[in-house]
Structure 1
Amino acid sequence: QIARIKKSCRRCEKMVQEPAPSRPIPGSMAGPNLLSHILVSKFDDHLPLYRQHEIFARMGADIPESTLVGWCGRAMKTLQPLIERIEAEIMASDLLHADDTPIRVLDRSRRDKGLGKGVKQGRIWAYVRDQRPWAGSAPPGVIYYFAPDWKEDHVLGHLANARGILQADGYKGYAKLYEPQTDGAPRLREAACWAHLRRDFHDFWVSTKSEIAREALDRIGKLYDTERGINGQTADVRHAARQKLSAPKVASFFAWSEQQLLRIPGKSDLAKGFRYGLSRREAFSLFLTDGRVAIDNNPAERALRPIGIGRKNWLFAGADTGAETLARAMTIIETAKINGLDPQAYLADILDRIHDHKINRLDELLPWNWAPMAQAIDSQAA
């Protein structure tokens, strides 16, 4: 409850009253602290809304689950201008990590048509900018997009304006992005993931104890030994170290891989692993010639880990709109976390300020620029 005192002038009897403060959701009783608690509990702590409803009920606050759903969606609508600024910043990077993961989404139309139990498989895509491993100046960030299926059109739309280097797995939908343009150069150069390649050999070694798979793991492990020593160094330092220490090992690995393919069954999983690496030799070697490029795509895989944890709790999204809300919420929460912020404190502050904040100063509320309101007032006064 907000008390606004009315005062009147004794001479002219004119009534005056302080304007009502803006609400994060116009016309709603939900304040910024309550909304931030609900959002972080749902999208960071992975606490489904029906459980939050039960918790609030035990505390004497009967907030219907449908109301909680509405608050989440409308809060994301309030934050949409800020989320769009994060997206614009991250997607403008000339070096991106990308990955995706499945998510179950309720689709009652499928059940009505007799197509299963009314659940479809959508995808959550993550795009990460992280220059910290090579001491870059741009702040880290991650954005998420929901797609109702795994068609390449979604990726091509996400990366329509992207230029530079894309570090990702071997998903076929990326292929058109690597094709030469009219000037002969591709819009994006492919950087492959050594961790993904290593996983193929690791899985085969675990199941068969193959000596060849074990040697492949050892050879790749030596590349990572070098990477541990140069993590956080400048791109030039990383490039020099890789040329001296890693380039000979990579050349040796691929020469050895070609020899092993002549010795093992062509249809085995081990052979598939070797062929995967050899077919993308240029992409696997790009990190040797550019010190900014990581040896693997682990930043994107780490960004998707919260989705995997969340799936075990909320099981599925209630609709496409719910999955889109999830993607927007994860964008702002995970970007806040990767910049070292407490997501609940950050969300509470910007939800309280965003309606009254000048649109031409919106960048002040980005996670890497944000300062709590008290600090912002002090800095302006100074």
Structure 2
Amino acid sequence: MIDFTKENDKEFMREALMLMQEKLLSKELEVVELRKLKEKDEEILQKLEEELKNLRKRVFDSKQERKANKPKNQRKRRKGNLPHNKSKNTQIEELEIDLNEEIIDYKIEKSSCPSCGGDKLHEMNNCFEESNEFEVIERQYIIKRHKRQKYSCKCCNKIITAPGGVKLTPGGEYSIQLATQVACDKFEDHLPLERQRKQMKRAGINVDVKTLYGQTEHLYNLLFPLNELMRQDVLSEKWVHIDESPIDFYNPNKSKGYIWSMSNPRGAYYQFEPTRSGTVAKEMIQGYEKGCIISDGYSGYNFLDSDEDYKNISHAFCWAHVRRKFFEAMNHDDRSEVVIDLIDKLYEVEHMADDLHSLKEVRLDNLTSIVKEIDSWIKSMDGKFLDTSSLGKAIHYYQNRREGLQLFLNDETVPIDNNMAERKQRCPVMGRKNFNCFKSINGADVGTFFYSVIESCKSNGLSPRSFINTMAHRSAKGEELESPFEYASRISERLRTQIAEELSALSKDSG
């Protein structure tokens, strides 16, 4: 060790001081690097803890996004659809199906009383003890033999054959109704064709899977003009929900395909593509000139914000997805609960309105202040969270989509969320859980077509089976087809006219 108190050489002292400064700087750099490593380790540790909690929650907890510590005095959310989800054809949905009724009479065969054995037992007029019992008649298959009478004409010396009924295919063995059953059992009730084959075999009809698929394909060919009609129905509304969901697709590369969907109260339209590129969305909304498209914020829809060709279309985002992000963050950071409560208030206000006209007033009076509270809270959190944490990701998700999230404040035709698109994806997802995959592009097109018809029927209060059967018979006869929305609107108008006439007749009778 050098005793610097006794050292008088200035050059030596200068060099020693410079050396000490270099060592001090190197140590400071080491400290900075260690701090960075520590912060990185903390981020990794936090990320691992959050992933572990998420895995435990996914396996053991309920899938519903409800708060466990819900206040007892909190108002229950009003039940029923939000104004944007209500169909104009509600009258059809309210119609009840009348079951066939069979009356079975039971009488005492003997004339003696079962109680005392006396012979003075007499029937009581119009006195019965009644009870109801629901019965099921097993599905049966029958063979219809079509005998078309032949005639000989002595005028022209020709043989004339009586016209027959309409068929799925000329000379085919299977009826339109049977093909409708096969298609709806698979795409509405998610029953794979192999299971249907086994059911049919037990009932006495032996059909292979390839034949069953052929029936759905023939039915698809009869009804295909409906595809564009349903797409135009969806695009004729002021707002359109859009989403996409992966589905297995059999091909050598074993890659996934995607079912894209557009929906609103007028109906639903599905399209299968082996890619998740935004070009699919462009193709689907072709012809949509003005309105609003609601998405989950996936980057494939960014062309709606950047492309000049879509400047008349507003792009809104989903508050339910924002809530989901903060709900996931709440497992790791209780501060997220503030935003969840505020978003719940947004939905409470939405449920106060019965239609779009009243929704405009309700939003102006209540929602702006709630959204300002959310913005203020987000601003107050600046610098108080890690970007890689669940809370940080939720905040950035909101900030990156803030403009699209707030579009609904000034336009009553913009829905608050994209939940309708999520609900419309349930049907393909349930099918995905029951059968392995689409085995060809053609099979995928057939499937998405029937999903479009079935979900459009549900949106308009129609029975998919009855509608498909009716339209297939029309197509086989060469008659014009109607989309589910057009068909339901015509029936609704007829019902409204009928009800108005009945009310008018009642008022005249009472007068």
Same-fold call, TM cutoff 0.5:
yes
Q: Is residue 225 of structure 2 the alignment partner of residue 86 of structure 1?
A: no
CA distance in 2, matches of 1:292, 1:311: 33
Show the 5 A alignment for 1:193-204. Answer: 193-204=318-329
CA distance in 2, matches of 1:31, 1:370: 27
Q: Is residue 488 of structure 2 the alignment partner of residue 368 of structure 1?
A: yes
Query: Radius of gyration: which is bigger?
Result: 2
Q: 1:159 aligns with which of 251, 264, 285?
A: 285
Q: What is the Cα deviation at residue 256 of structure 1?
A: 1.0
Show the 5 A alignment for 1:207-218. Answer: 207-208=331-332, 210-218=333-341
Match of residue 97 from structure 1? 241
Match of residue 24 from structure 1? 168
Match of residue 34 from structure 2? none
Amino acid at match of 1:168: S
Match of residue 349 from structure 2? 226
What count of residue pairs does the alignment treat as equivalent? Answer: 347
Aligned Cα root-mean-square deviation (Å)? 2.2
Q: What is the Cα deviation at residue 250 of structure 1?
A: 0.5
Show the 5 A alignment for 1:210-359. Answer: 210-230=333-353, 232-233=354-355, 235-359=356-480
CA distance in 2, matches of 1:325, 1:11: 49
Q: In the superposition, relative to structure 1, how do residues 301 and 327 fare at CA in structure 2: closer, same or farther (>3 Å)?
A: same
Match of residue 123 from structure 1? 258
Q: What is the Cα deviation at residue 33 of structure 1?
A: 1.1
Q: What is the Cα deviation at residue 370 of structure 1?
A: 6.5
**Which structure 1 segments of 5+ residues have no match?**
111-118, 131-139, 376-382
Counterpart of 1:263 in 2: which secondary structure?
coil
CA distance in 1, matches of 2:271, 2:397: 28
Q: 1:176 aligns with which of 303, 328, 334?
A: 303
CA distance in 1, matches of 2:482, 2:403: 41
48-57 or 24-33, which deviates more = 24-33
CA distance in 1, matches of 2:487, 2:371: 39
Counterpart of 1:266 in 2: which secondary structure?
coil
Q: What is the Cα deviation at residue 15 of structure 1?
A: 4.0
Match of residue 37 from structure 1? 181
Conserved? CA contact 2:248–2:256, under 8 Å: yes
Q: What is the Cα deviation at residue 213 of structure 1?
A: 1.2
Q: What is the Cα deviation at residue 8 of structure 1?
A: 4.3
Q: In the superposition, relative to structure 1, how do residues 155 and 180 fare at CA in structure 2: closer, same or farther (>3 Å)?
A: closer
**Which structure 2 segments of 5+ residues have no match?**
1-144, 496-511
Q: What is the Cα deviation at residue 357 of structure 1?
A: 3.9
Amino acid at match of 1:317: F
Q: Which digits, 9 at most, give the CA deviation of each residue in 1:238-259, with x for residues without a partner? A: 1111111011101111121121
Q: Is residue 206 of structure 2 the alignment partner of residue 62 of structure 1?
A: yes
Q: Which has the higher helix share?
A: 1
CA distance in 1, matches of 2:245, 2:204: 38
Conserved? CA contact 2:230–2:483, under 8 Å: no
Counterpart of 1:198 in 2: which secondary structure?
helix
Counterpart of 1:106 in 2: which secondary structure?
coil
Identity of aligned residues (%): 28
CA distance in 2, matches of 1:358, 1:366: 15
Counterpart of 1:103 in 2: which secondary structure?
strand
Counterpart of 2:190 in 1: which secondary structure?
coil
Conserved? CA contact 2:327–2:336, under 8 Å: yes
CA distance in 1, matches of 2:487, 2:368: 38
CA distance in 1, matches of 2:479, 2:179: 22
Amino acid at match of 2:488: W
Conserved? CA contact 1:237–1:291, under 8 Å: no
Match of residue 11 from structure 2? none
Q: Which digits, 9 at most, give the CA deviation of each residue in 1:230-283, with x for residues without a partner? A: 1x31x3321111111011101111121121232111221211111111221111
Q: Is residue 141 of structure 2 the alignment partner of residue 6 of structure 1?
A: no
Amino acid at match of 1:301: E
Q: What is the Cα deviation at residue 27 of structure 1?
A: 3.7
Conserved? CA contact 2:329–2:394, under 8 Å: no
Q: What is the Cα deviation at residue 93 of structure 1?
A: 3.0
CA distance in 2, matches of 1:15, 1:86: 44
CA distance in 2, matches of 1:170, 1:101: 14
Q: What is the Cα deviation at residue 36 of structure 1?
A: 0.9
CA distance in 1, matches of 2:490, 2:173: 26
Q: In the superposition, relative to structure 1, how do residues 244 and 26 fare at CA in structure 2: closer, same or farther (>3 Å)?
A: same
Q: In the superposition, relative to structure 1, how do residues 240 and 310 fare at CA in structure 2: closer, same or farther (>3 Å)?
A: same
CA distance in 2, matches of 1:365, 1:295: 24
Match of residue 74 from structure 1? 218
Q: In the superposition, relative to structure 1, how do residues 25 and 254 fare at CA in structure 2: closer, same or farther (>3 Å)?
A: farther
Match of residue 509 from structure 2? none
CA distance in 2, matches of 1:59, 1:365: 36
CA distance in 2, matches of 1:103, 1:162: 27
Match of residue 116 from structure 2? none
CA distance in 2, matches of 1:13, 1:247: 85
TM-score (ref. length: structure 1): 0.85
Match of residue 135 from structure 1? none
Match of residue 4 from structure 2? none
Amino acid at match of 1:305: R
Counterpart of 2:276 in 1: which secondary structure?
coil
Q: What is the Cα deviation at residue 202 of structure 1?
A: 1.1
Match of residue 378 from structure 1? none
Amino acid at match of 1:160: Q
Counterpart of 1:169 in 2: which secondary structure?
coil
Counterpart of 1:293 in 2: which secondary structure?
coil
Amino acid at match of 1:90: V
Q: 2:271 aligns with which of 134, 145, 148?
A: 145
Conserved? CA contact 2:166–2:476, under 8 Å: yes
